[in-house]
Structure 1
Amino acid sequence: MFRVSLCTLVLSLGLLASSFSHAASIADGDIHKNDFKWFQFNLMRSIDNKIPFGNQQDTYFEMEFGGRSGILDLYGYLDVFDVFDSRSDSDRHGGDNFFFKLAPRFSLDYMTGHDLSLGPVQEWYISTLFNVGDAALFEQYVGIGTDIQVPWFGKVGANLMARYVRENFGAANEREWDGYILSTNWFTPFYHFENSFISYQGYLDYKFGANKISDSTDRSDSSLEWFNGLYWHSKRYAAGYGLKLYKDMALLKDGGFAGETSGVGHYLSLTYKF
């Protein structure tokens, strides 16, 4: 009983401290008071990945970054596939070279000069997202987002956005608004050593309402990607394992012309932090 009560107390104090800091930044006009940035390189190995068209195994390089500067909250990464140019090691050999994700969010609290927090809801944003592949893929999203304090998890980002299809490999829904995405993400340290810790980190992306393409035999109006990672972190290094659940990845039905798009995939990662 005491351990549960202590945990609840710590979470409550953390929520109060975060709320006071946010409110103070708005009250004194110093929106850069809590600025930060991070940048890291990841060497990734995917196993039984459910990327459409048989892209299941790959060793790739990832440049990942994020931070906060005033009204701007930013996350992004660039994946470079088949990094060792290996015919035997990569399903992407001779295929796509990269994938780029950029997710800028713009604080409504800081833009309006008002603390819009309410209970566990800490801050509100105009959320945007860009998914870009080097072979005719370009998706843009815009909507509303927030940060929510969740027991044990800590701060969880949540966004609901509409999807605009700029390029989609020549599909009929190009240059159309088609569907929505509900996305969440979290980073939760839960076991600490003297100079390092273990975290549970991940995200859930649920796309739905995409119904502008008529060939419904192979296309789905919804899809799910749920990543669950356990990572060891030190100041400069990290290493981890991620289990990812897929359902109709990229809005392509499992077993259709895109191949296997539902099931479980695995990821191994080695990281250097700057």
Structure 2
Amino acid sequence: MKKAILGLSSMLLAGSALAADYSDDIHKNDYSWSQFNLMYAVDELPGESTHDYLEMEFGGRSGIVDLYGYVDIFNLASSEDSDKANSDKIFLKLAPRFSLDAITGSDLSFGAVQELYISTILSLDGGQNGTNNTFVGLGADVNVPWLGKVGMNLYALHDQSFGSRDGLNGYQFSMNWFKPFTFFENGSFLSYQGYIDYQFGMDSEYVSATSGGATFQGLYWHSDQYSVGYGLKLYQDVYGIEDSEGFKSSGASHYFAVTYKF
């Protein structure tokens, strides 16, 4: 499932390049954002599905909580010819992180690390026996040369998917970034944005490949109200599914997006 990143513009541009300081007021860096993304995926893996969907994306900061999330609604026209015609209509991801700096009232930064978090993800689809994953781990905002502030998280996965799983199923390293690199006189800009999700140590009882993942490489134009972009997503045995002639899980897909920002 695609991990959305279009809203990272608000989240990352709001962040300072300096270490977080919550010793006087944990709410001084609060903000929020939301947007609607009309998406079209070409050869999305696993399974090489081409389809449209609407994404309602949101996030922000309130005190100790740094939140990112989205809801995807597939096959908007309910077309019987859609690759998603017989699939779940909705997918939800919530990814709250809880700042250890804000919780303790201390500056926990060191080196390039600006802030530390307890990181979580909840992933659910609309089916009774579909995706039901909970990730818990440690996260950080890291100042990376040229890219600036980059989110990095290492999770353990508690997998309750498909009605047959209930337990620890490996680990995931995630990294996301948003880098404006060309600015125009009207205030709009181009950005390089993307993420990496890599799973490893998965249980062979549940999966056919014990490691695998994906990376999204996006180029977007942003204004205050809109964005338009393209993303190339590269996969290797994604979600622990071994690539095969019968069901493709390694390769490339393409995403096109038009966004309205609130």
Q: Which has the larger radius of gyration?
A: 1
RMSD: 1.6
Aligned to 1:6: none
Query: Alignment partner for residue 158 of structure 2, among 153, 157, 164?
Result: 164
Contact 2:57 2:69 in 1 (8 A): yes
Matched, 1:82 2:81: no
**What does 1:253-264 correspond to in 2, within 5 Å?**
253-255=242-244, 259-264=247-252
Secondary structure of the structure 2 residue equivalent to 1:109: helix
Separation in structure 1 between the aligned mates of residue 248 and residue 204 of structure 2, nearest angstrom: 22
Deviation at 1:170, TM superposition (A): 3.5
TM-score between the two structures when normalised by the length of structure 1: 0.86
Aligned to 1:27: 23
Structure number with higher helix proportion: 1
Contact 2:17 2:148 in 1 (8 A): no
Aligned to 1:5: none
Contact 1:55 1:92 in 2 (8 A): no
Percent of matched pairs sharing the same residue: 50
Q: Which segments of 5 or more consecutive residues in structure 1 lack a partner in the other structure?
A: 1-13
Deviation at 1:256, TM superposition (A): 6.6
Contact 1:55 1:91 in 2 (8 A): no
Secondary structure of the structure 1 residue equivalent to 2:111: coil
Matched, 1:179 2:178: no
Separation in structure 1 between the aligned mates of residue 118 and residue 40 of structure 2, nearest angstrom: 33
Secondary structure of the structure 1 residue equivalent to 2:18: helix
**What does 1:101-250 correspond to in 2, within 5 Å?**
101-135=93-127, 136-166=130-160, 168-171=161-164, 174-194=165-185, 195-213=187-205, 219-250=208-239
Separation in structure 2 between the aligned mates of residue 69 and residue 249 of structure 1, nearest angstrom: 33
Q: Which segments of 5 or more consecutive residues in structure 2 lack a partner in the other structure?
A: 1-12
Secondary structure of the structure 2 residue equivalent to 1:185: strand
Secondary structure of the structure 1 residue equivalent to 2:122: strand
Q: Which amino acid aligns with 2:242?
A: K
Matched, 1:48 2:43: yes
Aligned to 1:4: none
Secondary structure of the structure 2 residue equivalent to 1:91: coil
Deviation at 1:114, TM superposition (A): 0.8
Deviation at 1:92, TM superposition (A): 0.5
